Amino acid sequence: MHEAMNSRRSEKLRWLAILIAVVLMTMIYGLSGCGSSDGGSEESGGTSDLAAQSTLGSGSKTLRILSGSENKELEPIIEKYAKKNHVKIEMTYQGSLDIMRQLGEKNFGYDAVWPASSIWMNAGDTLHRVKHAESVCQSPVVFGIRKPLAEELGFVDREVSVNDILEAILAGRLKFCMTSATQSNSGASAYIGFIHALLGSPDVITMDDLQDQDMRKKLAQLLSGIDRSSGSSDWLKDMFLKGDYDAMVNYECLMINADEQLQAAKKDPLYIIYPYDGLSIADSPLAYVDQGDRKAEERFLDFQEYLLSDDTQDRIQQTGRRTTYTGISDKNKVIFRKEWGFQPDRVLSPFKMPEADVLDECLNLYQTVLRKPSLTVYCLDYSGSMEGEGNKQLVAAMEQVLIQKNAAENYLQASPDDVTILIPFESSVIGTFTAEGNGKELEDLYDTVDKLEPMGGTDMYNAMERGLDLLDEYDLSKYTTAFIVMTDGESEDYYNEFREAWEEDGRNIPVFSIMYGDADSSQLDQLAQLTNARVFDGREDLIGAFRKVRGYN
């Protein structure tokens, strides 16, 4: 497929060999390892537990909040309070599963928690420290479909059911983007809504309901319509706006923001669909986590009172969030534009979410049986600079992904139809290793990762081109496909060759990357921009970065 590009690479390598032959031995030593970059960019993914991503206001008093990413849009409202009251509010944004997990840890590094939905807070509060929980706002999880397509499907100006959406998918007329049900609340809420609808709207979903084979079949068919996945609702919106996709499942408030940006770009808006038999609602609870600090509790209560005040609730509503279940105030209805399908007068009637054990079984069922299979190509850096601690952390990270008992702790298990391709590299590709399914073949890849020894230089582009060639063997319409690249240094500069190969390939495979050590962030940012993907920072927590990026496929 890429003979011409390989020829150019061979020519470059020939000249490089000549140069190496005439330089000093010290230079040879330098070329054998990874280069370094003293530049950097703001990380886009993994975050240490205590690293605030936004600091609003200033002063000696601090309020630390662990929040869902959808609350980033409320920062101007939060900052107004912080400045007026001389309080420093530190916001750290993580996915619903991370929030739930951290809430259950003994050492919780925050004063308050602000997830998208109460289900994650209730499930994570195993130590019973959460108090003063109040819903700040509400946002239904809806379908947004490009308006011309929504008109073709007959979805405009009428009530639409989950079965109507399923029929459009089965007819090959609709694909959509959605966050992972096991990593983000918007995906989980939509998924539970699908189950509720396909079961015929029971009072509450039970364990017995999950054994319904007709429901399982229809749900798998519905999820087969997913075009791209994500671990973050906010990032999904940004990805959608940069790409060419039919539809998206997301919060109503983020749909408003997306439509405003589409209008500014003179593009077709999304037409909003509220599936009447499976509409789930994020209730955005803000709660204090009691760790014995009375002054922190007082600061929290004062801040919460501000958010729930009439003036602030009005400002929150102006961001596209609802502050009651019964509709939008007359003055703010202009934000919820009816020509885009928004229904400001709709009374929201949430169905009852399942109990914690049933929710857990729903998520495991999604991850191991029902979701669209993943095809993941791991390109892993085994250059000389990874020797020692770097390689040790890489092996530990892959252990969390490939060993299924470990993966199950974070709802990252493979399914029987998944395909996992491993391409370790240094100056050239070390080898290619493939596993299908979620059994011994997959876990044997871990032994490969563990036994390989770091050596040589760095050429991640060569590994990715090899991956593109290997993908020719698969019908990618059956998979959500992605590259995951981990590197700790500056790669040999074959970006243009890879870009040509990726564009010639034409399948728009996203390349997610994990930055480690002295990795060149500009090279990784370049790949993310080209492929509409994302860079994760693994310099402080490589294991956590691998877990996060795995949630995007």
Q: Which residue has the higher pLDDT, 249 or 540?
A: 249
Q: Tokens at residue 414, please?
A: 């493979």
Into which CATH architecture does domain 2-135+285-320 fall? 3-Layer(aba) Sandwich (3.40)
**Least confident range of 87-101, 273-287, 322-336:** 87-101
The stretch 516-537 carries a mean pLDDT of 92
pLDDT at 41: 29
pLDDT at 372: 95
Amino acid at 510: P
Same fold, 2-135+285-320 and 139-281+348-363: yes
Banded pLDDT at 74 (limits 50, 70, 90): very high
Residue 222 has pLDDT above 70, yes or no: yes
- Residue with token string 């405003």: 260
pTM of the model: 0.85
Over residues 274-299, the pLDDT tens digits come to 999 999 999 999 999 999 999 999 99
Q: Tokens at residue 13, please?
A: 């390598």
Q: What is the share, in percent, of the chain residues with pLDDT greater than 90?
A: 75
CATH pick for 139-281+348-363 out of 3.40.50.11260, 3.30.1330.30, 3.40.50.970, 3.40.190.10: 3.40.190.10
- CATH (residue range 373-551): 3.40.50.410
Q: Are 463 and 423 in contact (CB under 8 A)?
A: yes
User: Mean pLDDT across the chain, nearest whole number?
Assistant: 88
Banded pLDDT at 317 (limits 50, 70, 90): very high
Q: Are 419 and 373 in contact (CB under 8 A)?
A: yes
Instruction: Please count the other Cβ atoms lying within 10 Å of the Cβ belonging to residue 277.
Output: 19
Amino acid at 418: D
Helix or strand or coil: residue 189?
Answer: helix
The stretch 369-387 carries a mean pLDDT of 94
- Of 43-52, 385-394, 403-412, 525-534, the range with the highest mean pLDDT is 525-534
Residue 56 has pLDDT above 50, yes or no: yes
**Least confident range of 7-16, 203-212, 305-314, 351-360:** 7-16
pLDDT at 51: 67
Element (H, E) at 70: none
DSSP calls for 495-545: HHHHHHHHHHH-S---EEEEE-TT--HHHHHHHHHHHT--EEE-SS-HHHH
The stretch 157-177 carries a mean pLDDT of 97
pLDDT at 31: 30
Banded pLDDT at 17 (limits 50, 70, 90): very low
Residue 419 has pLDDT above 90, yes or no: yes
Helix or strand or coil: residue 381?
Answer: strand
Q: What is the residue extent of each domain of the chain?
A: 2-135+285-320, 139-281+348-363, 373-551
